[in-house]
Amino acid sequence: FLVIEGYVEEWSSVMDAAGKSVGFVGCSVLDGGIGVIALNRGEGRNALSEGLVRELENALEWVSVGVSEGMRGLVVGSDVPGVFCAGADLKERERMSRDEVQVFVTRLRRVMSGIAQVSVPTVACLSGGAYGGGAELALACDFRFASSSAELAFPEVRLGVIPGAGGTQRLPRLVGLSRAKHLIFTGEKVDADRALAIGLVDRVTVQASESSVRDEAVKFLHNIAVSSAPLAIIHAKSAIQRGLECNSLLDAMKVEGQSYDRILDTW
């Protein structure tokens, strides 16, 4: 199901009896080996239901195969106009027991970690709202490109919970401790311009469409792919992310040294 040259083939984890895609997540590969994961649960504004999360788990397996076969970058976006991801499916959540919620959030946290651990560069394309778990999905990517109409928020405390899929940890690493506390404690919405100013997103595109933001992301990843050695990118990303998890700069420098040595072994 991996096709490198163009949108020759698309994949979804759920098919009907006739073989037609009826799933919530589509996967495809563009020219140059840039993968695309597109959320497409229109009736729920891409809310993170059990079904959508299950398909994201399958999509991560697809990405793993893709990277081994030459995928050079990954875009995570939406095929639903005006929204990236509305966050948790609250109607579904109301029907869950406490234990079921714990199991679900653990799975969701694992999915976000899986996105963060993809070895090639990743870009989240935000052409509308990214709320709660949707904002956490964006945080799990290396970069966030937004349309001028995009907005992000972490409204969980208003619902009596906290961000549970990486938000309390990834947000302060991205925007700083006090800004992260402000956004999480207040749950206020952040528009694209302010998100850019505080480092929550990396680029804002004036055009409001998903396709224009996605085109920018694909071009960005393609430029990296054609100008940089693929193994060097993989090991640089690994060194940066593993180093941030270290307790001291000395330990982080050791991580960098290990990654550098692995690159030398490929010469």
| Direct distance between the N- and C-terminal alpha carbons of the chain, in angstroms, rounded to an integer | 32
Active site residue 188: no
DSSP-derived secondary structure letter, 90: H
d(CA 116, CA 139): 8
Name the active-site residue from 133, 134, 164, 167.
133
130 is catalytic: no
Which of the residues 66, 124, 136, 150 is marked catalytic? 136
Instruction: Please tell me which residue in 88, 180, 192, 195 is annotated as part of the active site.
Output: 88
Phi, psi of 35, deg, nearest 5: -80, 150
Given the residues 156, 166, 180, 210, the one annotated as active site: 156
Q: Going edge to edge, which strands form the sheet with 129-131?
A: 83-85, 129-131, 151-153, 190-191
User: What's the rounded Cα separation, in Å, for the pair 148 and 203?
Assistant: 10
**Any catalytic annotation for residue 55?**
no
CA dist 1 and 64 (Å) reads 12
Distance CA 184, CA 195 (A): 14
Contact criterion met (CB below 8 Å) for 85 and 130: yes
Told to judge if 88 belongs to the known catalytic residues of this protein, a careful annotator would answer yes
Q: Which residues carry out catalysis?
A: 88, 133, 136, 156
